[in-house]
């Protein structure tokens, strides 16, 4: 099967691609086929222009100046918080802390929520399929408090074994963590079911939404979790942007993590009092232009609509998976029933890194390595995989080009 024989669709991917200047690039003399979207997405012109306009016309610091520019910059920055709150259906804008990304968000929860509560003998539960950003912060605070980190198992197909996750929710567990979508396997986890089990036992749940937010509508209230962390640069926004959503009751109770300007009510050497959330957690000058860009990224997603995005991405995923199965000796790692468009794989007799290097010479950008998921690699007994991660601006023809390049480089390595 090739792209020309597949079902036509009304998703106007040609028009959409024109919004992404970088997609027109050639790499090593070949048209770029960008399949490293789970690593970081490309940015539409609207995002690039929004940041440009901010620096050209509105640049000032936020929350500090009464002058016109300061008010404009503050309105734009705080406007992104409003937009993000609606985007993930938060109950209130004050439940959204703007961070530099998921890593800062999970570390904030580790040091501000978990550490003050943890005692020797306590447990933090995570899973085998997590990114290091949803493992290492818990290990760091566990080491300081005498707590331990446990990991719920997954099946060979790359699905979380939910019954076992729930069985592990014992009274020692003070925080449960899980990824919404795996960055390596593409697996979509049943977050609502997990959240329900956590609620029943009074255990707060943190969800790593890094790979979900770019692909599906997220409703934190419907999910029923306590914390939801995500990153902007995988969802069309600039690097250095992200957020932590947390239930207001947790944010009220959490002490600040970073101290400095903008997070205080009054500073005295005898005692300092802090601003209310979210500002209590946003010390120092934030990535203002980045969040201006993030606002444009959200607008862009909404102009396309997730229904159309999901339909197209699932078509791409099914087509690419089918075409990859044609390659002798290729094994897909991660065959969950519900997946976002991420395909990890191995080819017999070829190193993932060699394949990725040769694919690059064909203009195809994929990632090879452990994908910041060492425990998952250990589970599968491999040091690395190749990963093609797709976005709504990819085409069926690119999937054909990818498979053709793969067949070519595989021959070279024999």
Instruction: List, by residue number, the catalytic residues.
Output: 372
- Beta strands 30-31 and 205-208, pairing class: unpaired
| Cβ neighbours for 411, distance < 8 A, ≥ 6 positions apart | none
Q: Residue 206 or 401: which CB sits closer to ligand PLP? A: 206
DSSP string, 215-276: TS---HHHHT-SEEEEESTTTTSPTT-EEEEE-HHHHHHSPPSS-STTSEEE--SS--EEPP
Provide the minimum distance between the beta carbon of 251 and ligand PLP in the complex, in angstroms, as a whole number. Answer: 20
Q: CB–CB of 365/32 below 8 Å? A: yes
| Cβ neighbours for 109, distance < 8 A, ≥ 6 positions apart | 137, 175, 206, 227, 229, 244, 246
Provide the minimum distance between the beta carbon of 183 and ligand PLP in the complex, in angstroms, as a whole number. Answer: 3
Per-residue contact string for residues 12-41; x = within reach of ligand PLP by CB under 6 A: --------------------------x---
The single residue among 107, 126, 211, 394 that binds ligand PLP, judged by CB under 6 A, is: 211
Provide the minimum distance between the beta carbon of 297 and ligand PLP in the complex, in angstroms, as a whole number. Answer: 14
Task: For residues 409 and 362, give the distance between their C-alpha atoms in angstroms, rounded to a whole number.
Answer: 9
Q: Residue 36 or 122: which CB sits closer to ligand PLP? A: 36
Site size toward ligand PLP (CB under 6 A) is 14
Task: For residues 317 and 169, give the distance between their C-alpha atoms in angstroms, rounded to a whole number.
Answer: 34
**210 near ligand PLP, rule: CB under 6 A:** yes
DSSP, collapsed to helix, strand or coil, labels residue 12 as coil
DSSP, collapsed to helix, strand or coil, labels residue 66 as coil
Q: CB–CB of 134/106 below 8 Å? A: yes
Q: CB–CB of 142/124 below 8 Å? A: yes
Provide the minimum distance between the beta carbon of 328 and ligand PLP in the complex, in angstroms, as a whole number. Answer: 30
**287 near ligand PLP, rule: CB under 6 A:** no
Q: Residue 113 or 319: which CB sits closer to ligand PLP? A: 113
**127 near ligand PLP, rule: CB under 6 A:** no
Q: Residue 125 or 403: which CB sits closer to ligand PLP? A: 125
The single residue among 133, 168, 254, 355 that binds ligand PLP, judged by CB under 6 A, is: 133
Q: Residue 125 or 401: which CB sits closer to ligand PLP? A: 125
Provide the minimum distance between the beta carbon of 404 and ligand PLP in the complex, in angstroms, as a whole number. Answer: 28
**389 near ligand PLP, rule: CB under 6 A:** no
**126 near ligand PLP, rule: CB under 6 A:** no
Binding segment for ligand PLP (CB under 6 A), chosen from 50-58, 130-138, 285-293, 391-399, is 130-138
Q: Residue 108 or 133: which CB sits closer to ligand PLP? A: 133
DSSP run (H or E) holding 333? strand 330-333
DSSP string, 114-129: IHHH--TT-EEEEETT
Q: Please give the residues from 180 up to 209 whose contact with ligand PLP meets the rule CB under 6 A.
A: 183, 208
Binding segment for ligand PLP (CB under 6 A), chosen from 17-25, 41-49, 99-107, 263-271, is 99-107
394: left (phi over 0), alpha (psi -120 to 50) or beta: beta
Q: CB–CB of 228/105 below 8 Å? A: no
- The overall longest dimension of the chain from CA atoms, in Å, is 74
Task: Report the C-alpha dihedral over residues 167, 172, 174, 179, rounded to 10 degrees.
Answer: -30
Q: Residue 331 or 370: which CB sits closer to ligand PLP? A: 370
**107 near ligand PLP, rule: CB under 6 A:** no
Q: Please give the residues from 138 up to 157 whose contact with ligand PLP meets the rule CB under 6 A.
A: none
Binding segment for ligand PLP (CB under 6 A), chosen from 10-18, 112-120, 128-136, 335-343, is 128-136
**241 near ligand PLP, rule: CB under 6 A:** no
186: left (phi over 0), alpha (psi -120 to 50) or beta: left
Q: Residue 145 or 187: which CB sits closer to ligand PLP? A: 187
Residue ranges that bind ligand PLP, judged by CB under 6 A: 38, 101-103, 131, 133-134, 179, 183, 208, 210-211, 231, 372
């Amino acid at each position: 099967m090739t792209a020309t024989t597949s079902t036509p669709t009304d998703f106007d991917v040609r028009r959409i691609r024109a919004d992404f200047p970088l997609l027109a690039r050639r790499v090593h003399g070949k048209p770029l086929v960008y399949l490293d979207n789970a690593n970081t997405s490309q940015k539409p012109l609207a995002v690039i222009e929004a940041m440009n306009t901010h620096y050209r016309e509105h640049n000032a610091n936020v929350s500090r100046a009464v002058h016109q520019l300061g008010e404009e910059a503050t309105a734009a920055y705080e406007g992104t918080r409003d937009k993000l709150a609606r985007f993930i259906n938060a109950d209130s804008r004050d439940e959204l802390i703007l961070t530099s990304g998921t890593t800062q968000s999970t570390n904030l929860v580790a040091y501000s929520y978990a550490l003050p509560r943890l005692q020797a003998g306590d447990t933090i539960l995570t899973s085998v399929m997590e990114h290091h950003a949803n493992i290492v912060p818990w290990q760091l605070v566990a080491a300081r408090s005498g707590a331990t980190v446990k990991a719920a198992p997954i099946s060979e197909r790359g699905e979380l074994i939910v019954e076992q996750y729930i069985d592990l929710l014992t009274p020692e567990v003070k925080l449960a963590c899980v990824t919404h979508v795996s960055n390596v396997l593409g697996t979509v986890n049943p977050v609502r079911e997990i959240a329900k089990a956590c609620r029943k036992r009074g255990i707060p749940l943190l969800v790593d939404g890094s790979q979900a937010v770019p692909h599906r509508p997220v409703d934190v209230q419907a999910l029923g979790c306590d914390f939801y962390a995500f990153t902007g640069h995988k969802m069309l926004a600039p690097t250095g942007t992200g957020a932590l959503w947390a239930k207001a009751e947790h944010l009220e109770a959490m002490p600040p993590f970073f101290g400095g300007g903008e997070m205080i009510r009054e500073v005295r050497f005898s005692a300092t009092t802090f601003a209310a959330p979210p500002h209590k957690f946003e010390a120092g000058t934030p990535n203002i232009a980045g969040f201006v860009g993030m606002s444009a990224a959200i607008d862009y997603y909404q102009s396309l609509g997730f229904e159309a995005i999901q339909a197209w991405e699932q078509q791409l995923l099914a087509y690419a998976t089918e075409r990859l199965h044609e390659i002798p000796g290729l094994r897909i790692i991660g065959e969950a029933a519900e997946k976002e468009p991420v395909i990890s794989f191995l080819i017999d007799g070829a190193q993932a890194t060699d394949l990725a290097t040769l694919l690059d010479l064909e203009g195809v950008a994929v990632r090879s390595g452990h994908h910041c998921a060492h425990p998952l690699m250990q589970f599968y007994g491999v040091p690395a995989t190749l990963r093609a991660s797709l976005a709504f601006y990819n085409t069926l023809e690119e999937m054909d080009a990818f498979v053709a390049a793969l067949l070519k480089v595989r021959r070279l390595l024999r």
